[in-house]
Structure 1
Amino acid sequence: MTIKVVTDSGSGLSQKKANALGIDFLPLQVIVDDHTYLDGVDLDIDDLYDHIAQGASVQTSLPPLGIMEDLLESYEEQGVDQVILITLSNGLSSTNSTFLAAANRHGIQVHTLDLFTTLGVEHYCALAAASLNDKNVAPEQIVSTLKEAIDRSAGYLIAEDLDHLAKGGRLTPMAAKLGGMLKIKPILEVSKNTGGKVDVWSKVRTMSKAIKTGADQIGQSVDDPSQYVFYVLDARNEEGAQTAIEELKSVLGDQADIRREPMYAVIACHTGLGAVGMQYVKKVKGE
C-alpha cells in the first residue's frame, strides 16, 4: 500500500514548498483580467497583491482538470493506491468533489473530509496529514484525527475594501456604498457553523473594533488556548495584523501559539487588499 498526501493552494503552500514536504500539489487557477495563472506555480501572493493594487479584476477557479488527471496517471504508474486529500471547503470550491470523481475513475481510494474553511486551518491540516503519514498512521485514523480538530475550529475575516466584496458578490453594491459611508465593517465567518460558506457573522464600525470583536469571540470559544493553533492573516495590512495579534494575546495569554501568514490568494482575490483574518484550530495529536 502506497499513500500520498495531496493539497491545493488554498493551503498557502507553493508547489515547491509542498513537494519539499512530500505533499503533492493542486494549484488553484487565478484569473487576472484576461490571463490565467497557477497559484503557487507561476503566481505568488505578492504578485497577486500588486495586480489588485493596480485595479485588475481577479477571481479564482478550481485546479485544471488536466493537472489532476496527470497526477492520478502518475500514481497508477507508481503503484500509489490511496490518497489523503486536504482541500479548501466544499462550500467554496468543487475541487474536492472533482478530484474524488477523477480518482474513482483511476481506481484510487481517497480519504478526505470537509474542512469547512481554508487559509491557515487548511495549511495546518495539510502539514499535520503529511507528518502523520510519515509516521505510518493509517489514512482512516489521520482523517478521523483531523476531523476532531476541524470540529473545534473557526475563522473570521474583516475586509477593508467593501467595494471589492461587492464585485465578488459577497455584498450588494448598495450595501457596500452604505457601509463605506457609515464606516461599517462586516465580520465574515467561514467555518463549520456556516457550512463552509462565507457568511456575515457581525457588523461593527471601524477595523480595530471588528478585530477586537473577532478576537474576543475566539477567546470565548476556546477552552484551553494551549491546545490550539491560532492564525492571523492579512493582505498588506501590517497595522491590522499587529492589532489582531495583540488582541488575541490579551484574551488568550502571551503563550498562545499565534502564527502570522499572508492572506492567501483563495480569499484575497475576494476581499481585496487590507483584509485581516483570524482563525483557530485544535492541535492534532502526534503531528
Structure 2
Amino acid sequence: MSVVVVTDSSACMPSGLVEQYGIEVVPLHVLVGEHDYRDGIDDIDLDSGPVTTSGAPPEALRAAYGAALDRSDGDGVLAVHISRQLSGTWDAARVAAEEFGGKVRLVDSQSAGMGVGFPVLAAARAAVEGAGLGSVYRHAVEAATHTSSFFVVDRLDHLRRGGRIGAAAALLGTALAMKPVLHILDGRLALKEKTRTSTKALARLTEIAVSQVEQEPVSVAVHHLHAQIRAEDLVRRLRERIPKIEEIFVTEFSAVLGAHVGPGAVGIALASHPADTAR
C-alpha cells in the first residue's frame, strides 16, 4: 500500500481532492446552542443559536489514525492539523498518536483553511508516488513553510466572540467599522493592514497576494462564506496578476471556520513552489 494522509475539517479541502488521494478527514465540532455537530458531516445552521467550536477529541483522532494505518498496510500515517495556536486538536492528536509506536507522524500546519490543505496535498501526492513516511513528512513540512494565508472579514464580532482575534485585538472597540486584512502569523491570527471599506480591503488582499508570490509558481485557494461573487472576483484578479498559477481552488470556509470569520468573509491561501521543491 502507501502512506495514508489524515487531516481535519479545518483544511476546507475540495471533496474531489479528498477522494482522489484517499485523504482521511476528521471532523472538528461546532456547538450551536445545546447541539454538538460534526463539521463537514452534519448539516449546520450557524444562525440558529449561540455558536462555539471545539477541536477533535483524542478518541476520534485515535480511531481515524488506526483506520488509516490499516489502510496503509503498516506503511504509516502522516497527519497534518490546524495550528496548535488556534485549536486544541494538536494536543489531542499528540495523545492519540502516542499509541501507534511511531507509525503516526504529526505536522502542525501553523495555519487553517487551505493553509492546512496545501501541506496535506503535498504529502498525499508524495504518498501516491510511493514515498515513505519520512519523505511524506518532509514534503508536508516543506509545503507548510511555503504556504501563507490572508483573510478579510465583514465584521470582527465573530472573531471577538470566538476569542480568535489574537494580535488584532487592538482593533476591537474603536475599529469595528473597519475592514481589516488579517493573516496567520506564527500560527496565530493577526492584523496585516487596516482598510476602511470592503472594496479597499479586497484590493489590498489582491496586492498582498501578488507581492507574496513574486515570480514563483504557485497554487492558490480562495475561500469564502456566503460570498461567491467576491470569491469569483478575487479569482479573476489573481489570474490577471499572477502569471504562474499552477492550480486554483475555490471552496467555502467550513462551518468550524465560518463560525469565527462570519458571513461575507473571503480568504486566500498561497502555496509557492520554489524551483528546488517544485512538484
TM range (shorter): 0.7 to 0.9
Structure-2 separation of matches of 1:258 and 1:18? 15
Structure 2 matches for 1:210-225, cutoff 5 A? 210-225=201-216
**AA of the residue aligned to 1:92:** L
The answer to whether the 8 Å contact 2:29/2:37 transfers is yes
Secondary structure of residue in 1 paired with 2:180: strand
The answer to whether the 8 Å contact 2:225/2:264 transfers is yes
Shift of the alpha carbon at 1:77?
7.0
The answer to whether the 8 Å contact 1:228/1:280 transfers is yes
For these two proteins, the number of residue pairs brought into alignment is: 274
Change (3 A) 1:206 1:254: farther
**AA of the residue aligned to 1:244:** L
* Counterpart residue number, 1:234: 224
* Counterpart residue number, 2:136: 142
The answer to whether the 8 Å contact 1:208/1:240 transfers is no
Select 1:179's aligned residue among 175, 179, 193: 175
Matched, 1:131 2:125: yes
The answer to whether the 8 Å contact 2:21/2:128 transfers is no
The answer to whether the 8 Å contact 2:224/2:267 transfers is yes
The sequence identity of aligned pairs, in percent, is 24
**AA of the residue aligned to 1:179:** A
Change (3 A) 1:158 1:55: farther
Q: Structure 2 stretches of 5 or more lacking a match?
A: none
Structure 2 matches for 1:79-118, cutoff 5 A? 80=74, 82-118=76-112
Q: Structure 1 stretches of 5 or more lacking a match?
A: none
Structure-2 separation of matches of 1:185 and 1:255? 27
Structure-2 separation of matches of 1:282 and 1:247? 18
- What TM-score do the two structures reach when normalised by structure 2? 0.84
Structure-2 separation of matches of 1:174 and 1:100? 33
Structure-2 separation of matches of 1:124 and 1:75? 19
Structure-1 separation of matches of 2:270 and 2:240? 15
Change (3 A) 1:111 1:176: same
* Counterpart residue number, 1:38: 38
Select 2:62's aligned residue among 58, 69, 78: 69
Secondary structure of residue in 1 paired with 2:108: coil
Change (3 A) 1:239 1:8: same
* Counterpart residue number, 1:198: 189
Shift of the alpha carbon at 1:251?
2.5
Shift of the alpha carbon at 1:221?
1.6
Superimposed CA distance per residue, residues 26-52 of structure 1 (whole angstroms, 9 cap, x where no aligned partner) = 111111111001112223xxxx4xx23
Structure 2 matches for 1:272-283, cutoff 5 A? 272-283=262-273
Structure-2 separation of matches of 1:38 and 1:16? 20
Matched, 1:25 2:25: yes
Superimposed CA distance per residue, residues 188-229 of structure 1 (whole angstroms, 9 cap, x where no aligned partner) = 111xxx21111111111111211111211121121325x111
Structure-2 separation of matches of 1:73 and 1:150? 24
Structure-2 separation of matches of 1:29 and 1:5? 20
* Counterpart residue number, 1:10: 10
Select 1:266's aligned residue among 246, 256, 260: 256
Secondary structure of residue in 2 paired with 1:36: strand
Shift of the alpha carbon at 1:235?
0.4
Structure-2 separation of matches of 1:186 and 1:198? 12
Select 1:56's aligned residue among 39, 49, 55: 49
**AA of the residue aligned to 2:153:** A
